[in-house]
Amino acid sequence: MVKDPDVRVLYNKRGVSDYALYDEAGIKERTGVTPAQYPDYAALRGDPSDNLDGVPGVGEKTAAKLITQYGSLASVFDHADEQTPKLRASLHESRERVLRNAGLMRLRADVPVATDARTWVPTPNAEALKALFGRLEFSTMGQRWA
């Protein structure tokens, strides 16, 4: 997740066509964790969309509870021995994989990116477009390129 007041997340609610747009407060309301904590939460519960396994037996509610209680994934593992026997065993057995997956889920902000969007806009071939519009009988669009 990106921690930025100007960023919104399109979250798939159900199926392939039911989505909701969330801001930072919406992510907290939806998941129980802040956007900064979301990668740790997702690593604990797993992320099926990226085919990343979480801790067996840990779903959304347990992941949110653990991250909220301990603050971070590292702290959850530091307190693994305080959990129920089944959860303790699952945390110990999946620690390395879950920590690796958490690293894969984090967005990197230190990557240099060209910020001039004009470099991404191609220069159209006017003659080819006019010919295409003529073949497709797009007369109005063809006139705009004349």
- Whether residue 7 is contained in a domain is answered as no
Rounded to the nearest integer, the mean pLDDT of the chain is 88
Instruction: Please compute, for residue 113, the number of CA atoms within 13 A of its CA located in the half-sphere on the CB side.
Output: 7
Phi first, then psi, for residue 125 (nearest 5°) are -85, 100
Determine the average pLDDT of the residues in 73-82: 96
* pLDDT value at residue 7: 76
* pLDDT value at residue 65: 97
Q: How far is CA 97 from CA 23, 61, 121, in A?
A: 29, 20, 41
- Whether residue 116 is contained in a domain is answered as no
Instruction: Please write the tens of the pLDDT for every residue from 59-75.
Output: 999 999 999 999 999 99
Phi first, then psi, for residue 32 (nearest 5°) are 90, 0
- Whether residue 128 is contained in a domain is answered as no
Its pTM stands at 0.70
**Residues with Cβ < 8 Å from 64, sequence gap 6 or more?**
31, 32, 33, 41
Instruction: Please write the tens of the pLDDT for every residue from 95-133.
Output: 999 999 999 888 877 888 777 878 888 888 888 988 899
- Whether residue 145 is contained in a domain is answered as no
What CATH number does the domain containing 43 carry? 1.10.150.20
- Whether residue 135 is contained in a domain is answered as no
Phi first, then psi, for residue 11 (nearest 5°) are -105, 125
Say if residues 9 and 1 touch (Cβ distance below 8 Å): yes
Using 50, 70 and 90 to split pLDDT, how confident is the model at 23?
confident
Instruction: Please write the tens of the pLDDT for every residue from 37-58.
Output: 999 999 999 988 889 999 999 9
* pLDDT value at residue 19: 85
DSSP string, 79-96: TGGGS-HHHHHHHHHHHH
Number of domains in the chain: 1
- Whether residue 16 is contained in a domain is answered as no
Domain span at residue 79 reads 34-105
- Whether residue 93 is contained in a domain is answered as yes
- Whether residue 24 is contained in a domain is answered as no
